[in-house]
Chains A and B, each alone.
Chain A
């Protein structure tokens, strides 16, 4: 069953037509990835789904509901969380406070259990619980950003460039976590420039090219597709 369905959305930045009518869907329990070059519109797509940008036309439905009439701040309580590009953790707050803000829409009584869960999944965050988030390393900040998004108990987790700026060993770690989350039943929409890694964990993939979907299919098929290999995998 499709959890997220995008139908022919167009998004503009002022006069710039950034997304030119794309449609795709994410089914429950899938990992779907959007790959593409810098500026193809990957982040724009995620920001539009999360409500930070409004599409000029087209329809976004999530869990059977049309999202266009819902305020941005209410979208998270529908069961969708975006872990944004560049992490955007709250630099001046502690690790714990960041996580608490992630659970902003949930009842206070459920927060301690979720915090424990996050500290179990991300032991490094437990060690750094009281530390100011701005002082964490890049990898730790990425984990914090993911944990913060998970604090809302989303049905759909959207990850925007989780591997950006990280050392290869940390990239491996982040992708291991993505696989674990998937195994735990979280549906994931992943945007990545690291197409190799993204295609190796995903079930299905869409290739974005200057605001349009140019290719789609099962991830392992795209991984072996000549055109994709040439354009995005460097071989």
Chain B
């Protein structure tokens, strides 16, 4: 029982990271109708920046996280402006291929700058672990911070898109760009803002991921990126609660699958679940039915 609970905690912790990454995928998809496959690599860049800030530039962990967020925000906006904006009218296949190219560009740039050897990422979490059931169940500080960060981010984003003028503008742009423009909303600026928020979240996810799984390499972001994308589709792409539920479920399924079924097949398990969900409910768990406009 205790072992199960401890697996469950790891699952929720990993799932929270997936959820934060999935949010970035989901928001960008919702607004720009594109899959930003470079998103996973922005996570990796965020982790490297944080690593450099703590190890080489002598910054405190919290400042390092902020620096990583700022760099990733700028990176996200620049990627959108340079690579995706010129393709706004192009076919979605062209945009997809560009995103994959961007992903490799980021990975190889990281390889050039930081080399292929894994860096040992120092955890940015300084709070201790909590022990329950007379020390039989240990919940790490990383897990606590990750879950809290996830909750705060979800609430903040829900309030932002539901209550603020800019957030509502984002919803409007995702529904109908032309009509949004007629309202006087700057569509390009709104898309940039979405990339900025998604990339800042990617930095947080990268730091949390590497705090829990410390080996940092140029490909660190790609697998979590793909899994978070899976989580976003699983929960219903374009939906904030969908990203949360998809991420959490995926994390828990992955860890429990690895623990009880097969360590080697853990990842296969994750994607098998995705296939089943998509067969039964193609829009994902919380996905909205898309009305094609005539």
Residues in chain A within 8 A of chain B (CB atoms): 50-52, 71-77, 81-82, 84, 86, 88-93, 97, 100-102, 104-105, 108, 148-149, 152
In the bound assembly, the distance between CA atoms of A89 and B183 in angstroms comes to: 11
Residues of A near B101 (CB, < 8 A) are none
Contacts of A52 in B (CB 8 A): 178, 181-182
CB distance from B286 to the nearest CB of A (A): 13
Q: Name which of B50-58, B141-149, B165-173 contacts chain A.
A: B165-173
Set of chain A residues within 8 Å of B178, measured between Cβ atoms: 52, 84, 88
Are A101 and B183 in touch, CB under 8 angstroms? yes
> Contact between A101 and B168 (Cβ–Cβ < 8 Å)?
yes
Chain B residues whose C-beta falls within 8 Å of the C-beta of A102 in the assembled complex: 183
User: Which residue, of A71, A72, A76, A92, has the highest number of chain B Cβ atoms within 10 A?
Assistant: A72
A51 & B168 in contact (Cβ 8 Å cutoff)? no
Q: Compute how far the CA of A101 lies from the CA of B185 in the bound complex, rounded to whole angstroms.
A: 9
Given contacts A88-B176, A91-B291, A92-B175, contact A100 B182 (CB under 8 A): no
On chain B, the number of residues with a Cβ less than 8 Å from chain A's Cβ atoms is 20
Closest 7 A-B residue pairs measured CB to CB? A105-B184, A76-B184, A88-B179, A73-B186, A104-B183, A72-B181, A104-B184
The residues of A that contact B185 with a CB separation of less than 8 Å are 73, 101, 104
B291 near A76: Cβ-Cβ < 8 Å: no
Instruction: Check: B200 CB closer than 8 A to any chain A CB.
Output: no
Contacts of B165 in A (CB 8 A): 104, 108
Q: Nearest CB to that of A52 among chain B residues? A: B178
B186 to chain A, nearest CB (A): 5
Partner of B172, one of A50, A75, A77, A101: A101
Give Cα A60–Cα B212 distance, bound, in whole angstroms.
60
Rounded to whole Å, the gap between the CB of A136 and the closest CB of chain B is 14
User: Given the complex, which residues of B lie within 8 Å of A72, measured CB to CB?
Assistant: 181
Residues on the B chain within 8 Å of A104, using CB = 165, 169, 183-185
Q: How far apart are A104's CB and chain B's nearest CB, in angstroms?
A: 5
Report whether B182 and A90 are in contact in the complex, using a CB–CB cutoff of 8 Å: no
Within the complex, what minimum Cβ distance (angstroms) separates B29 from chain A? 16
- Given A71-B186, A86-B293, A91-B175, also A100-B168 (CB < 8 A): yes
B residues 15-49 touching A (CB-CB < 8 Å) = none
The residues of A that contact B179 with a CB separation of less than 8 Å are: 84, 88-90
Q: Give the docked Cα–Cα distance between A130 and B78 (Å).
A: 39
Q: Does B187 contact A (CB under 8 A)?
A: yes
Given contact pairs A51-B181, A88-B179, A102-B183, enumerate 4 new A-B contacts (beta carbons under 8 Å).
Answer: A73-B184, A88-B182, A97-B168, A101-B169
Within B179-217, the residues touching A (CB, 8 Å) are 179-187
Q: Which residues of B lie under 8 Å from residue A152 when comparing CB positions?
A: 183-184
Contacts of A92 in B (CB 8 A): 171, 175, 288
Give the residue name and chain of the A residue nearest to B175 (CB): A90
Taking CB atoms and an 8 Å cut-off, the chain B residues in 155-175 that contact chain A are: 165, 168-169, 171-172, 175
Complex CA distance for A103 and B186, rounded to whole angstroms: 14
Which residues from chain A contact B169 at a C-beta distance below 8 Å?
Answer: 101, 104
User: Which residues in A have their C-beta under 8 angstroms from that of B291?
Assistant: 91
Q: Given A86-B293, A88-B176, A104-B165, are A93 and B171 also a contact pair (CB < 8 Å)?
A: yes
Q: Which residues does chain B contribute within 8 Å of A81, judged by CB atoms?
A: 182
**B186 contacts which chain A residues (CB < 8 A)?**
71, 73
